[in-house]
Structure 1
């Protein structure tokens, strides 16, 4: 049974900061000397990120105006995990509601049968799923699934669960929500892992409707064709996400791009074989922009150009890495830049996360004339 993404809505917080301004905040918080500061600024320039968004206004404020961090330059006493979860609960729902409101007029929420929430940056119960039903005045008997703590590839698992639901229940209409507030987990450490993650991650939310529905009802849809997942245990210690006393701590070593480059070709070959496709049958790409080096590794490994990867580069430049919801921003950008002449083209999408987990999928673009 064909299953389609029929609407994508995205949202970011109102606080938008140039990458250079965030670098200044970090240099001050980490109390770097001039040499260390120059190295940090070089790292931030190398990301090719122009700006990022945060639910916290502090990244653009002087210490006396902080609302989340203590009002001093050292940020001490540093916010606990409890304070960060309070911030998640305060900011996550409004951001998700913005994403839902951006789904477009064709998205009929009254027919939603299932809600899937995806997040790795916060949790509480009763959670987002229940709050959404209440705020959107949805049916209280909607079936709910929560996918937590999977990192940047979490959206793929949300889509796979939605695909399985729609294949099992022809009248299903699934709302998938991804929301990540990465910036509430800033870690005041100078280890390379933390410097890199502080330079990449940002906040955002995405809402997707998935259903088995006649595509003539929509101007553009994405048919979910096939999924394939694999693990590279060699990278198990190179990308990790841990709950610590002062927030969630990201391990993200510089070895990750090499691991992605090593594993992605076999991953994609297996995906294409499963769907009886060749590489030449792929026309469009929607890669998760985990960072510039990861995108370059993908290009080198599978022989695609920066232009092929343009949707990912655009999202990376304008938003940074928003963890699980980022690939949905990329798919939305792809939809906005394609037209009826692209009808029927196959799309390859991939994302990567702790494990080291490699996720991939094939989608098919449907455009009305």
Structure 2
């Protein structure tokens, strides 16, 4: 993949996004045919996903460049891209997994996403509970708090839509910061302080069950944000040893909760079959409305999620290192370690980092459980 360096992300409002559709891209028939042919090749090989290389999913130049453009768009003006037209109606569930994973080999390095250390998650209602200890949103039908995922770029490939609901909502975290600056400039330094957040059980066994990270980064050039009120509240609820939120911190979080869903900031989009939504997690936040599903299992809402570290990523503030592991631009970072990392994943990670010329340092916890509050 080309190491494209587009113009830096900028603040935006919902209305500005509605007026400019340059972040929406549609695959041409030639590009779609390239994904079809690459899938036929990969399916004939029958390799496990973690054993695949770019050569096992050989994309013609036009299809590869479509992915390059999409990833570059996430690092530019809007911090997001909607790439439309993947032929998921032609593919079985397994074929869609193989195709999506094959695409990812040309975009970045996949990151593990849960306590089972899985690299691809099914976003569908499996009866999970969202706002409970250890709860995650992807396996429920619940509406979600605004949050960022734990990677440079999160990709959602839509296989099937819900009977109703499940609308995707996105905001600019840069514009969110600007609104806080306009309304309550005294809370900006508060949001740049470390907050404690729960890992929701997704940490490596050597790590504490919580981590420290500011809501807003303080780098004047490369803005980054990280927030998920549910996980901040969970740290307060589940870990009495964690320092209590100060009144100012609570006030700042309450202000964010008020601003994020506002008509000024919040842009809503409905993902259709064959859509691939890509979001830059440092400059956007996202959520989802609750949804009602179909009864038949083969009709139920289903998206596939990848967390990617990408070659063109920005540097992160030093205060983000405890969570992301590596704050250097273009480094392999992010994800949640979980407790089931395999030798196959480690081999894939190293091979894929080399293929994309990305920095990769051997993983180690930035904070051990024994030193949780040191």
Q: Shorter-chain-normalised TM-score: which range?
A: under 0.3
TM-score, L = length of structure 2: 0.28
- The structure richer in helix per residue is 1
TM-score, L = length of structure 1: 0.28
